[in-house]
Structure 1
Amino acid sequence: MQFSIIINQILVLFIIIFIGYIIRKKEIINQEVSDGLTDLLMEVTLPALIISSMIIEINPRLVNNLQISFWVWGGLYLFIIGMISLLSHYLPFSQNQKSVFKFATIFGNVGYMGYPVIDAIYPEYGMLYAIIGNIFFNVLAWTYGIYLFTKKEDGDNKIQFEKLLNNGLIAIIIGFGFLLTGYQLPNPLTGALDRLGNMTFPLSMIVIGSSLTNIDFKTILYNKYLYLISGLKLIIIPLIIFLLLQPFTIPTKINNIVVILFAMPSAATTVVFAEKFGADYTLASEGVFVTTLFSLVTIPFFIYLITL
């Protein structure tokens, strides 16, 4: 049951990516349309997804576990950011490539791929703990992530606050308001946000497929940096996290959910951000494509590992 859901989610991703590739090849969409879809994702559907995922009811009995989950997610994200930032100094990437490398290895597809897997393994409250991880993903992706993509090539790393103040960050602030107060929007508004948010995944896959039209698939086989990204994102990082959590008395369910979600392939947002901010979106597309493909093997491995 669990593995069939994993395989199904990955196959769905690849089918939509393939559709995006075909419609770009047949010139049903062009670069201008692809850029428009990227803007739609950045300005509308992703912010809607963030808000809708944070409109949840928290059972008071879960408060302690949620606090534990909060500190675990926050500490691990900071650790991984530090580790990848240090490693990137020793790699011969340009700034545009380095931003893609960092984002692709730090941020995984915790939503579209992660949620169904967690829901299948832990149907009782599993999604709630996964949402805490997704909150950290959104906060860091829309602040630190955008900082990565807007750093200057000349080494001027001054934070561009005008770029950080974006619809995604505004959505996070609004979402936290709903999360902390427990306020529920009227059903029509909630339904509209859910439907807009659900558009994010197919649209982002179409953008990825569209960007793959510029790729020579033969070169992917010989691109050692794609293997580096895949090895870090799918094996080394989740394995380190698995080992780091062992000495701590963390509830098993939280421990396992964190490991599984950190083992997800690179987030589709990598491509969206790379195209939006003029980074190496070819490397971003290849990274998401290859890590998603390899995750067909690595995710079941980590599910097996945590159940030993």
Structure 2
Amino acid sequence: MAIGVLLQKKFNFQLTPVVKLITYCFMPAAVFLNIYQAEFDYSLLGQLFLYLLLFTAGTILLGNFLAKVLHLKRQESAALKNSISLMNAGNYGLPVSQLIFSANPLGVSIQIIIIVFQNLLTYTYGLYNLISTSKSVVEILKEILRLPIVHALYLGIGFQLLDIPLPTFALVPLEQLANAFFALALFLLGAQLAHISIKSFHRVIVWSLLGRLIAGPMLALLIILLLGIDGVMAQSLLIASALPTSRNTATLALDTQVVPELHAQIVLYSTILSGGTVTFVIYLSMIMF
């Protein structure tokens, strides 16, 4: 991100082609491989999906409630709702999970399932929030179905369920594209932030941070206790609930031109502050479960 800020200030890149490159090339490769290479523990899927449905429904309801109470404009409302319900489960959550559960692969497996679920949520509900500000339902469905990310999700799930081996000549370039995605997406976020003038702290940012970093873990803890989830699964789910806002919200906002600066600021602040909040939630999860 820092490199993105510095180079953008020096060269003033046109960011729209970079967004297209990420959306239509690097991101589909990363999502496909995340699903294709995942090692799932299918015995836990029932309880896990029940938790994910309840947690997601809770964050969506919270975002919609706050947007109505605050009387936000449609574009600001989209930013608030996405920032609370969509979290950075991939290049933030997965390394954290691998660090904490290095001796227990179950925790990492759960995080991978969360990544898949969040990818589906991002490119359905999240994309709907952005393009519904200017398009009809039919146009929204057409936009979603045209995205390569949607086809990558379906293909990844199909290859995973059918256990179809991928030949090396296809796997190697896909891995190279997926590895490039993480670096380029963070570079793009930094470039977006390069010319942002933060003259005031927008109220949407405040409520986004409270919803994602504070209310998210509180809701997760309540659901975990109600469902009687314990052990590594409870730890993994509680830690995942505290992750910052997904970087993809800023990428999609720039692609659709829905208050991209506001989205980028939310991602920036939530990522910085999550260093403290995620650390606390990790500590709490180890004590409680």
Alpha carbons 1:113, 1:264 under 8 Å: kept: yes
Tell me, yes or no, if structure 1 residue 26 matches structure 2 residue 7. no
1:218 positional shift: 4.3
Aligned length: 284
What letter is aligned with 1:181?
L
Tell me, yes or no, if structure 1 residue 164 matches structure 2 residue 166. no
Q: Distance in 1 between matches of 2:51 and 2:132?
A: 28
Tell me, yes or no, if structure 1 residue 195 matches structure 2 residue 179. no
SS of the equivalent of 2:194 reads helix
Over 3 Å counting, the alpha-carbon distance change for 1:57 and 1:300 in structure 2 is closer
1:158 positional shift: 5.7
Alignment RMSD (CA, Å)? 1.8
CA deviations 1:83-112 (Å, max 9, x no partner) are 212221122322222112111111111111
Over 3 Å counting, the alpha-carbon distance change for 1:203 and 1:63 in structure 2 is same
1:153 positional shift: 4.8
Tell me, yes or no, if structure 1 residue 302 matches structure 2 residue 281. yes
- 1:112 aligned residue: 91
Over 3 Å counting, the alpha-carbon distance change for 1:236 and 1:153 in structure 2 is same
What letter is aligned with 1:172?
L
Over 3 Å counting, the alpha-carbon distance change for 1:92 and 1:207 in structure 2 is farther
CA deviations 1:244-298 (Å, max 9, x no partner) are 2113222421222112112111111011110111100110111011001101110
Tell me, yes or no, if structure 1 residue 133 matches structure 2 residue 86. no
Q: Distance in 2 between matches of 1:214 and 1:75?
A: 39
What letter is aligned with 1:171?
A
Tell me, yes or no, if structure 1 residue 90 matches structure 2 residue 69. yes
Alpha carbons 2:82, 2:249 under 8 Å: kept: yes
> What 5-or-longer segments of structure 2 have no aligned partner?
none
Alpha carbons 1:74, 1:136 under 8 Å: kept: no
User: Match for 1:283 among 251, 262, 273?
Assistant: 262
What letter is aligned with 1:214?
H
1:36 positional shift: 0.9
Alpha carbons 2:38, 2:112 under 8 Å: kept: no
CA deviations 1:117-176 (Å, max 9, x no partner) are 11111122322111111111111111111111111359x656621111111111111011
Q: Distance in 2 between matches of 1:251 and 1:170?
A: 35
- 1:245 aligned residue: 224
1:197 positional shift: 1.3
1:58 positional shift: 4.4
What letter is aligned with 2:254?
E
Alpha carbons 2:79, 2:263 under 8 Å: kept: yes
SS of the equivalent of 1:89 reads helix
What letter is aligned with 1:69?
L
- 1:149 aligned residue: 130
Q: Distance in 1 between matches of 2:139 and 2:31?
A: 23
SS of the equivalent of 1:205 reads helix
- 2:154 aligned residue: 173
> How many percent of aligned residue pairs carry the same amino acid?
23
TM-score when normalising by structure 2: 0.92
1:225 positional shift: 2.5
> What 5-or-longer segments of structure 1 have no aligned partner?
1-16
134-143 or 93-102: bigger deviation: 93-102
Alpha carbons 1:214, 1:282 under 8 Å: kept: no
Alpha carbons 1:55, 1:178 under 8 Å: kept: yes
